[in-house]
Chains A and B, each alone.
Chain A
């Protein structure tokens, strides 16, 4: 079955540490997105990528970095510059960068600070 796989499901970060969240899709989608979810805050866009080797900042990109070396993969690195990283992170994909009508979500990664 096609879908989006996020790993790990739970992740812990120590002070000053960078951590990377994995997102893989086998839907052959061009566009991929990272959202951050905080309780009572809804979802906020961190980064998005419409095509391989290209990505753009969303609303809250500071303290995060991404890469898009392969169509099926869009890893998110939470750097030590992100002072409040504890949140639920959701990866999503769609057929094209403009096709928000069909947005598929992964099951998320909960990141916590030790």
Chain B
């Protein structure tokens, strides 16, 4: 069964600093991989997705993620954090069916 692990339930960075949110998945077959962002009391918005094309995926708001098969990782990065990036971020994985498996989420705090 697919599982997704997000390392660190809470990450705190200073404004302008690098953002790194970690995600590892378990699967014998490279899945579809996603990063979603959730603002308080809102639904999820898709930041970016990997679907077996380029391993470095660029998303919205300056975020990007790199698929590393050897490490079964799909970490999310942004070179310079902005106050508006403060939110909860979810990594998710899916195979060739309907089902998405979500990680438990990482709350990003951006300090001025």
Contact = CB atoms under 8 A, between A and B. Distances in A.
A1 to B, nearest CB: 15
B111 interface: no
Interface in B41-98: 41-46, 49, 51, 90, 92, 94, 96-98
Contact count band on A: 20 to 34
A50 B43 contact: no
Interface stretch (A12-20, A76-84, A104-112): A104-112
A100 B100 contact: yes
B103 A101 contact: no
A54 B41 CA distance: 30
A90 B41 CA distance: 10
Contact of A45 (B99, B103, B104): B99
Given A100-B32, A100-B99, A105 B104 contact: no
Contact of B90 (A9, A33, A42, A88): A42
Contact of A97 (B9, B49, B98): B98
Contact of A43 (B45, B97, B98, B102): B102
Given A40-B9, A42-B104, 9 more contacts: A4-B43, A43-B90, A43-B92, A43-B102, A90-B43, A98-B98, A100-B100, A107-B41, A108-B43
